[in-house]
């Protein structure tokens, strides 16, 4: 669930005159695939703009059920997502491209380190939007030079249904967790798209290879899949820690554990990952500081330090306050009473969102007597009603008296 900043570019230009013979569509497609790999893409395929009618129906059902939560941008202009021609009437072919970001380590291992934060694999390195967009532009310019056409490039930020289009282009299939699965790269592919006015030969759509496996459905800590191939984003930890702007609902806080930005559980347990390779792009590799950051150190980040730590990272877009909210939920789940000092210090934070999360963290780490004493003092000074509601509604965990 990535940021919504502009990710579309319209590129056009003349063919290179007298520098090469006109290629047949089939030879142009082969040359395009070779150029894509030379630019760092790990896979490429071509689909028609009319290839996702069935996915469009699933999308409408998703919206009708309200499963998109507060992601209003998903519900805006659904007709554009349902058919690429609704976004750009002139498109004749959709070139789908993938970049492998397979992790070096098991993403689930950190969940046992309760005093450290788990950041989703995709967000531990540089922002993939920037890297892939540059490559898409370079490939698009090559295509325009090779054959007179118009193109637009997209990377996860416009009204494009990348995963169904990637399946239609043969890059993989949408698994029961609704994410793309590749027989070659498992669950770890970033996607980008080039729309073009050229008629290019289509690839065969991939078919579903999930079989009877339910690993991704059963591992979800918050039961975000009401049925195979259906996601209720309102229950998804990625949505709750990234897209959700307010307090995290009480019913999901314990299940979040130490996940402070996103969740990889349903991706990581997929059996097809046994064939996956570690990503080869250094800029997407995990930064050492983000592999397993200590919760107490993260809790001390002010806005400037937050921005410095997450420079060029997708984490930066949620802002310091929402991030510290997530860190405090993880602190509350740490079962480490020594972290209560960090939560107590944040009771004086300028953000009501942070103060409210600090209240809950303290309710999990303090004895009832300690918590009630804090509440008695804090309620006299707290003016924000949402934070006052946290004091009144948080139920201290059963901890022995000190």
**Catalytic residue set:** 156
172, 166 in Cβ contact below 8 A?
yes
Helices and strands, number each (H, E), in the chain: 19, 9
Binding residues for [4Fe-4S] cluster: 210, 213, 216, 220, 236, 263, 266, 270
Query: Rounded to whole angstroms, what are the CA distances from 23 to 28, 37, 178, 283, 334?
Result: 6, 19, 37, 34, 61
Q: Euclidean distance between the first and final Cα of the chain, in Å?
A: 42
87, 158 in Cβ contact below 8 A?
yes
Q: Which two tokens stand for residue 102?
A: 């397979």
Binding residues: 81, 156, 180, 191, 210, 213, 216, 220, 236, 238, 245, 263-264, 266, 270
**Backbone phi, psi, residue 43, to 5°:** -160, 155
Closest CA to 246 of 361, 364, 72, 386: 386
Q: Which two tokens stand for residue 193?
A: 């798209």
Closest CA to 247 of 389, 71, 73, 378: 389
Q: How many angstroms from the chain centroid is the CA of residue 190?
A: 10
How far apart (Å, rounded) are the C-alpha atoms in residues 47 and 195? 10
Bridge partners, 227 (sequence order): 230
Say which residue the tokens 């006052």 belong to. Answer: 388
Closest CA to 191 of 207, 168, 225: 168
270, 306 in Cβ contact below 8 A?
no
Taken in order 376, 380, 382, 386, the sign of the CA dihedral is: positive
Bridge partners, 8 (sequence order): 154
């Amino acid at each position: 669930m990535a940021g919504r900043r502009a990710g579309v570019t319209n590129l056009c230009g003349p063919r290179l005159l007298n520098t090469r013979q006109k290629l047949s569509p089939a030879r142009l497609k082969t040359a395009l695939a070779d150029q894509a790999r030379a630019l760092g893409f790990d896979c490429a395929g071509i689909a028609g703009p009319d290839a996702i009618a069935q996915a469009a129906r699933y999308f409408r059902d998703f919206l009708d059920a309200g499963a998109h939560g507060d992601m209003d941008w998903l519900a805006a202009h659904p007709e554009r997502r349902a058919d690429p021609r609704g976004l750009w009437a002139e498109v004749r072919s959709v070139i789908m491209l993938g970049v492998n970001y397979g992790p070096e380590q098991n993403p689930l291992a950190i969940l046992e380190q309760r005093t450290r934060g788990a950041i989703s694999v995709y967000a531990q390195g540089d922002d993939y939007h920037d890297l892939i967009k540059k490559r898409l532009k370079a490939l698009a310019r090559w295509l325009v030079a090779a054959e007179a056409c118009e193109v637009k490039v997209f990377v996860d930020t416009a009204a494009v249904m990348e995963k169904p289009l990637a399946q239609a282009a043969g890059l993989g299939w949408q698994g029961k967790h609704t994410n793309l699965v590749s027989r070659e790269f498992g669950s770890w592919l970033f996607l980008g798209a080039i729309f073009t006015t050229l008629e290019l030969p289509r690839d065969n759509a991939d078919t579903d290879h999930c079989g009877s496996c339910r690993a991704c459905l059963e591992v979800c800590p918050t039961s975000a899949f009401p049925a195979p191939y259906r996601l209720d984003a309102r229950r998804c930890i990625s949505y709750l820690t990234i897209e959700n702007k307010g307090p995290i609902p009480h019913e999901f806080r314990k299940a979040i554990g130490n996940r402070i930005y996103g969740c990889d559980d349903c991706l990581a347990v997929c059996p097809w990952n046994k064939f996956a390779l570690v990503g080869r792009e250094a800029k997407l590799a995990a930064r050492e500081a983000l592999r397993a950051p200590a919760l107490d150190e993260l809790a001390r980040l002010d806005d400037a330090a937050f921005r410095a730590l997450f420079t060029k990272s997708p984490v930066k877009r949620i802002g310091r306050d929402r991030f510290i909210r997530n860190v405090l939920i993880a602190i509350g789940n740490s079962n480490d009473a020594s972290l209560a000092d960090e939560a107590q210090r944040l009771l004086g934070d300028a953000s009501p969102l942070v103060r409210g999360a600090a209240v809950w963290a303290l309710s999990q780490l303090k004895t009832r007597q300690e918590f009630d004493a804090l509440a008695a003092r804090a309620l006299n000074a707290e003016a924000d009603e949402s934070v006052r509601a946290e004091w009144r509604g948080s139920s201290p965990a059963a901890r022995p008296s000190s």
